[in-house]
Amino acid sequence: MSLSVVILAAGKGKRMASNIPKVMHCLGGKPMLSRVIQTAQLLNPEKIHVVYGNGSSDIPNFFPQAKINWVHQNEQLGTGHAVMQALPFCNDDEQLLVLYGDVPLISAATLQQLFSVAKIQNNVGLLVAKLSDPTGFGRIIRDAHHNIVAIVEEKDATPEQRMIKEINTGIVTAPVSLLKKLLPKISNHNAQKEYYLTDIIALSVKHDHSVAGVIAADLMEIRGVNDQWQLVTLERDYQQYCAKQLAYNGVVIMDYARLDIRGDIIVAPTVQLDVNIILEGEVKIGAGSKIGPNVCIKDSIIGENVSVLANSVIDGAVIENHCIVGPFAHIRPDTILKTKSKIGNFVETKNIILGSNSKASHLTYLGDSHIGENVNIGAGTITCNYDGANKWKTQIGDGAFIGSNTSLIAPITIGKNATIAAGSAVSKNAPDEQLTIVRAKQEVIKEWKRPVKKSKTEMN
């Protein structure tokens, strides 16, 4: 039996107090709905249906490349009604799995277990959990033989039923043919005046379809988000979980509470992560590297034995082995630092290749440049790459020495082993092996006097 997935994402989200659709709020750097879709894709379903609506008509625009059947729900009449909107697009011989766009951390392993149990027995599978405080959740009702026979929502539960600790997570799987048969039978005779998907449990039992309960091993997986506080607390728990996994894999973490992971990262054993580090997007860090405090790394590859010193920002770059970056460096997109090169304090780079053993140690801007090996870039050097309309390239040959406070006015080529004298503004190519000096003649103005501050009366 093939699998299809329906993700419910049409909730109002009023308690989020935000103009952003609830399911598009981020957890760990990704929209919650994006996380659920990615997890569903890991199950290799025939189709993924996302039910959306309620002022969130632009949600499909966030996923232009995803192979998703977007199902618009004009009226929000409950979870049962939402699933019914997707059923016309499902084949009778499929097993349907129902997920939620605001339950972002459900794992593929747990869902595979649930699907497998239900598929083997050709029945309904329900993910349940046991909570010390079940307030707010529907309670699982079992018979004398411990079989699941119904779910009672808290607002409809008796005082005795509210004492039950086993709760419904809302995640359920059932044959499409059964859902098409049972969902039209549910009613909205309840406190919320909604059509509850949970009512199919009692109906399934009534029609001789047993319900297989699978207990969620990790409670973080089944936690939903209804307001900003629930989101921030789930974020903290998720960050602690990520830090724990890194630590178990041999990463040295100075303080797990001051590490934020906002994407898909690979960090090798023996890497050291200091405090207040943000790893965003797709980041890979090689063995032996040390990331200093207050560092942000986004969509970058960091090689082995790299030192990223305090307060540096690296975005869209490749840093090869044994490089040094920072402190206070800004490495912008399309920067490649070759082995053993160095970018020092208050240096900014953009779209450059810095050759092996080359260095720009301080107070420099390098943009749109190809810099060879063993080059020294003096403090205060600027590649003048932008003429107000176009970007131009600077080429610097191997072994060149660029003196301090130099302006390289692109397009320009600095030759191999060339030396540029400090304070030069170079607008023509500099030859190999030669010293190039571009300065105005120094003059002394003998009769000149420094201006003095005038009184307001004198100014008038």
Mean pLDDT across 285-309? 98
Q: What is the mean pLDDT of residues 330-348?
A: 98
Query: How high is the pLDDT of residue 453?
Result: 84
CA–CA separation, 174 and 25 (whole Å): 29
Query: Does residue 249 share a domain with residue 349?
Result: yes
Residues 89 and 178 in one domain: yes
Strand extents, DSSP E, 216-305 = 252-253, 259-267, 272-273, 277-285, 290-291, 296-298, 301-302
Range of the domain at 264: 228-436
pLDDT at 208 exceeding the cut of 90: no
pTM score, two decimals? 0.89
- Alpha-carbon dihedral of residues 81, 86, 87, 88, nearest 10 degrees? 120
Give the per-residue pLDDT at 237. Answer: 96
User: DSSP letters along 31-57, please?
Assistant: EHHHHHHHHHHHT--SEEEEEEETT-T
- The answer on 212 and 246 residing in a single domain is no
**Mean of the pLDDT values across residues 281-296?**
98
Q: Which one of 25, 49, 362, 370 is the catalytic residue?
A: 362
Same domain, 208 and 247: no
Q: Is residue 443 assigned to a domain?
A: no
> What is the pLDDT, as a whole number, of residue 158?
93
To the query of whether residue 322 is one of the catalytic residues in this protein, the response is no
> Is the per-residue pLDDT at 459 higher than 70?
no
- Phi, psi (rounded to 5 degrees) for 42: -65, -20
155, 189, 222 - which closes a domain = 222
Beta bridge partners of 151: 140
Please state, for a pLDDT cut of 90, what percent of the chain lies above it. Answer: 77
For 353-364, the pLDDT digits (tens) are 999 999 999 999
Tens-place pLDDT, residues 221-244: 999 999 999 999 999 999 999 999
Domain containing 313 — which CATH number?
Answer: 2.160.10.10
Q: Which pLDDT belongs to residue 14? A: 87
Please report which confidence band the pLDDT of residue 122 belongs to, taking 50, 70 and 90 as the band edges. Answer: low
Residue 1, pLDDT score = 74
Q: What is the dihedral of CA 288, 292, 296, 299, to 10 degrees?
A: -10
pLDDT in tens, 392-421: 999 999 999 999 999 999 999 999 999 999
Say whether both 286 and 396 belong to one domain.
yes
| Average pLDDT along the chain | 93
Q: Is the pLDDT of residue 209 over 90?
A: no
- Which residue blocks in 20-153 are alpha helix, DSSP H? 32-42, 79-86, 108-121
Residue 121 pLDDT:
63
- Inform me whether the pLDDT recorded for 369 exceeds 90: yes
84-94 tens-digit pLDDT: 999 999 999 99
Q: Are residues 302 and 416 in the same domain?
A: yes
Look at residue 424 and tell me if it is in a domain: yes
Note whether 242 and 164 are same-domain residues. no
